[in-house]
């Protein structure tokens, strides 16, 4: 039997490579017809790893170069953290699988081993995310938020060296890297980024063999939940510059979708939820976005747009 090689494109961080290996492991469980080779691709976000993400000036800063390699046939499959995907998949690319999702929660790592509530007033908290910035300020107006970039290990070291008192990070990254550190989950009502905790596996839209292969590792529950989240972001018109959180959960055959938008200073938070049939997630996402926008979210969006154009607020 001839073994066909599949080239998988990924970013080069330790976490990205672990995620790609997870996907390979799942693919080997469903077929023995293929061998796999990892191809590391440096993205725009990787090349400018000290610049705040919102200043890089385009969507998909961690995926665009990988998409290009996929469309040009340099690679056959790409593996991404789903939260890095733009809300609209580029033409010619097919989202073939969203494997079983791991924890979606954000967590805090602090030098003094304290949770967000117990941090001292004036503490310096690191994040490169407008969403996390606004959510923290919503809970703690008395802390300072500074920009931080780099992989998880780099960010943790900056806390340990005293450059930051704490950082906000995705708990799933700590788990995947098997880091022996103590983190505290943020409160349950704090919503994650769309797709957080899930992986997205893509191939070319005309590669029917690989589409069929990837369908075998797709988790239906994770797929419907995260696609609902992405649809909500798309309807809200949000990107990395907009503090929007969203969570989809299928419980007892019903999809529960919760969304929120916050002002950049954390003073305002508009949230809402909706429940319906999982396969109607697109209509649900549209209804939820409309509800939040009508309840004040549209005004927040417009204000953020004006603030960013005037460069009034930034994470430096």
**Do the domains 106-185 and 1-100+198-218 match in fold?**
yes
Asked whether 129 and 168 are in contact (CB, 8 A), the reply is yes
Residue 146 predicted with pLDDT over 80: yes
Mean pLDDT of 267-288: 98
Domain 106-185 fold = D-Maltodextrin-Binding Protein; domain 2 (3.40.190)
What are the pLDDT digits (tens) for 212-257? 999 999 999 999 999 999 999 999 986 667 899 999 999 999 999 9
Mean pLDDT of 263-286: 97
What are the pLDDT digits (tens) for 30-86? 999 999 999 999 976 555 444 445 554 546 667 889 999 999 999 999 999 999 898
Work out the percent of the chain whose per-residue pLDDT is above 90: 81
Residue 311 predicted with pLDDT over 90: no
Mean pLDDT of 80-99: 93
Q: pLDDT grade, residue 305 (50/70/90)?
A: confident
CATH assignment of 220-316, given 3.30.160.40, 3.90.1150.10, 1.25.10.10, 3.30.360.10? 3.30.160.40
pTM for this prediction: 0.92
- Residues with active-site annotation: 84
Q: pLDDT grade, residue 161 (50/70/90)?
A: very high
Residue ranges per structural domain of the chain: 1-100+198-218, 106-185, 220-316
Class of domain 1-100+198-218: alpha beta
Mean pLDDT of 110-128: 96
Report pLDDT for 150: 84
Report pLDDT for 97: 98
Residue 141 predicted with pLDDT over 60: yes
Residue 315 predicted with pLDDT over 60: no
Report pLDDT for 46: 55
Highest mean pLDDT among 1-10, 282-291, 303-312: 282-291
Average pLDDT, the chain: 91
Mean pLDDT of 181-190: 93
Residue 148 predicted with pLDDT over 60: yes
């Amino acid at each position: 039997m001839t073994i066909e090689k599949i080239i998988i494109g990924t970013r080069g961080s330790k976490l990205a490579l672990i995620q790609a290996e997870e996907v390979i492991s799942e693919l080997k469980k469903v077929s023995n017809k293929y061998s796999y080779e990892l191809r590391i691709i440096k993205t725009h976000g990787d090349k400018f790893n000290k610049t705040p993400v919102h200043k890089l000036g385009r969507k998909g800063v961690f995926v665009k170069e990988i998409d290009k390699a996929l469309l040009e046939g340099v690679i056959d499959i790409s593996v991404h953290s789903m939260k890095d995907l733009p809300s609209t998949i580029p033409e010619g690319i097919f989202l073939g699988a969203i494997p079983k999702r791991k924890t979606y929660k954000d967590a805090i790592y602090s030098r003094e081993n304290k949770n967000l509530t117990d941090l001292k007033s004036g503490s310096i908290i690191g994040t490169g995310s407008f969403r996390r910035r606004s959510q923290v300020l919503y809970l703690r107006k008395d802390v300072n938020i500074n920009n931080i970039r780099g992989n998880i290990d780099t960010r943790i070291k900056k806390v340990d060296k005293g450059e930051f008192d704490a950082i906000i990070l995705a708990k799933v990254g700590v788990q995947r890297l098997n880091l022996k550190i103590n983190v505290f989950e943020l409160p349950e009502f704090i919503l994650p980024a769309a797709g957080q905790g899930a992986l997205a596996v893509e191939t070319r839209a005309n590669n029917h063999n690989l589409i069929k292969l990837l369908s075998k590792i797709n988790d239906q529950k994770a797929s419907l939940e995260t696609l609902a989240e992405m649809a909500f972001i798309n309807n809200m018109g949000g990107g990395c510059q907009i503090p929007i959180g969203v969570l989809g959960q299928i419980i007892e055959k019903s999809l529960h979708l919760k969304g929120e938008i916050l002002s950049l200073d954390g003073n305002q938070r508009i949230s809402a939820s909706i429940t319906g049939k999982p396969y109607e997630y697109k209509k649900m996402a549209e209804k939820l976005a409309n509800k939040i926008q009508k309840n004040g979210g549209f005004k927040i969006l417009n204000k953020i747009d004006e603030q960013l154009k005037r460069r009034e607020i930034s994470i430096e």
